[in-house]
Structure 1
Amino acid sequence: MSAQDLDFWSFVDAAVERARDRLPEIDPDAMRLILTLYRVTNMVIYDMESVVHRPRGWSYPGFRLLFTLWIAGPMEAKRAAELSGMSRQAVSALVRTLDRDGLVSKVPAVHDRRAVRLSLTAEGEEAISGAFVTHNARETLWADTLSGEERDTLARLLAKLGAREGARRRR
């Protein structure tokens, strides 16, 4: 197949086949799983970002940080990075924007003046609450493709994949 003959999903099959032909020692099943997971994840994130978050002036990472603070409450930036799955540098850059927009406040931590404690402002609390209703409606739209049993199975399998030794450690 030429590039003109491929579409978004047939590319996965072509990639696995061509990689296996060029490197017979690879694990094609693992490649197919991770490439498919990556593509579906990117589709969902793009959808969430374009329909829910960009119209509010946020990026998906900005939403993730606001969501983390909304769920877990005030915390140090280092902990927010860990819980949101982002680097400390990414959180630091996001906080500047979210602070400027009046959604997050930052104050020096009591025990270490170099550390910053983050919290949602009242405006941030209202904004994330409203955004999450729309976000969850999109989640439901995606999840409705699967039966309840399929959702449970997929969630369990993804949790198992994510629980792999060292998987959560950021490098």
Structure 2
Amino acid sequence: MPAEPATTDDLDYLTFVDYAISKTTAELPEVDPVAMRLGLTLHRLTSALVYDWESTVHRPRGFSWGGFRVLFVLWLAGPLEAKRVARLSGMSRAAVSALVNTLERDGLVSRRQAEHDRRAVLLTLTDAGHEAITSAYQAHNEREQAWANALSKPERTILIGLLEKLTASSAANDAKRRF
């Protein structure tokens, strides 16, 4: 563990984890510092990944991280009802609805009434949407590879296994979800 900075002015996004653990466990000794480090590190890594992907790949192409997620789900699993897009993307129905308004305006997604239920909306990628998502995903995967290259192939396999184990844990199963 690195030495604690002299002042909080010396902290940055990543060194704040060590500082937070030190300060928290000093005041609340019953806190599990390893669990805290795991949670903070996963959250910070996820935030850094999403920011990187959004700022280098998706925003330059004119869509947000959420817009990319909708296009990605429709590309791989569509056409789908909006509620299924919400579930598969991990977003709320309201968020998907707002994103689809923009994606439809931009000519990337079309929507129509589902045949089996007049209240349901069926979403489909347009040809322009297909081109946009496949182009974006190629660039997105290049950034994924850049991040993954920090690990050896065996380390990647181990990390994926550990993350999947967390995802399938009882805590994950008990967690509240947006869908």
Q: Same fold (TM over 0.5)?
A: yes
CA distance in 1, matches of 2:9, 2:68: 36
Q: CA deviation at 1:115?
A: 1.3
1:74·1:118 contact (CA, 8 Å) conserved in 2? Answer: yes
Q: Which runs of 4+ in 1 moved over 6 A?
A: none
- 1:134-171 C-alpha deviation (Å, 9 max, x unpaired): 11111111100101111111111111111122347337
SS at match of 2:91: coil
TM-score (norm. length: structure 2)? 0.91
SS at match of 2:174: coil
Aligned counterpart for 1:39 among listed residues 35, 44, 59: 44
Does residue 170 (structure 1) correspond to residue 174 (structure 2)? The answer is no
SS at match of 1:97: helix
CA distance in 1, matches of 2:175, 2:128: 35
- Where in structure 2 are there 5+ consecutive unaligned residues? 1-5
Deviates more, 1:20-29 or 1:39-48: 20-29
Q: CA RMSD in A?
A: 1.3
CA distance in 2, matches of 1:116, 1:156: 37
Amino acid at match of 1:110: E
CA distance in 1, matches of 2:65, 2:177: 21
Amino acid at match of 1:7: D
SS at match of 1:118: strand
Aligned residues between the structures: 171
- Report the equivalent of 1:6: 11
Deviates more, 1:21-30 or 1:56-65: 21-30
SS at match of 2:29: coil
Aligned counterpart for 2:131 among listed residues 126, 133, 136: 126
- Report the equivalent of 2:80: 75
Does residue 135 (structure 1) correspond to residue 143 (structure 2)? The answer is no
Identity, % of aligned positions: 59
SS at match of 1:119: strand
CA distance in 1, matches of 2:165, 2:176: 12
1:162·1:168 contact (CA, 8 Å) conserved in 2? Answer: no
- Report the equivalent of 2:68: 63
CA distance in 2, matches of 1:147, 1:46: 24
TM-score (norm. length: structure 1)? 0.95
